[in-house]
Amino acid sequence: MTDLPLPSRCAIALGANLGDPLQTLNATIETLANHPQLKLICRSSWYLTAPVGPPQPDYLNGCAILETHLSPHELLTLLLGIEDQFGRVRNERWGARTLDLDLLLYDDRQLTTDQLELPHPRMSQRAFVLVPLAEIAPDWIDPVSSRSIEQLCQRVDCSDVKLHQN
């Protein structure tokens, strides 16, 4: 009997601001939880956040921790497919969207390719990512800065990130 390697622990960010964002995000969590190649470990609360980029509605954002045996690129492909399934259309950079899924962290891996950069290159500057991630993984160490998610969160202005009351 061969031992399978341990699964990798991954952090993803979820966001939506078109259609019914709450329904979309909850359905996305269900999709992730039911996928045979993923194990949903936990998810954050949803947070209402101001948009970055062109004028558009506020976002609902959150994060989830997954375990998987997929490679980072295979996981990215899966996440992009889920975005498509929920009607994601890419019209403009940082534009409004039905669903946005970003791979933030993959164990302590650092990776830069044309398709993927790990950790996510703007993660440490974005309160709308760090607040929900700190809720569920405060002690996870960013391999670039060697700071915990909680420490990174303390270094950004979190005043525009509000807990969503549903």
Active-site positions read 88, 97, 100, 102
Residues 6+ apart with CB under 8 A from 44: 62, 63, 64, 132, 133, 135, 136
Cα 27 to the chain's mean position, in Å?
15
The rounded distance, in Å, linking the Cα atoms of 148 and 155 is 11
Cβ atoms of 153 and 84 closer than 8 Å: no
Beta carbons within 8 Å of 60's beta carbon, 6+ residues apart: 15, 16, 17, 21, 22, 25, 46, 47, 48, 49, 164
- What's the rounded Cα separation, in Å, for the pair 107 and 57? 33
Which two tokens mark 96? 């409004």
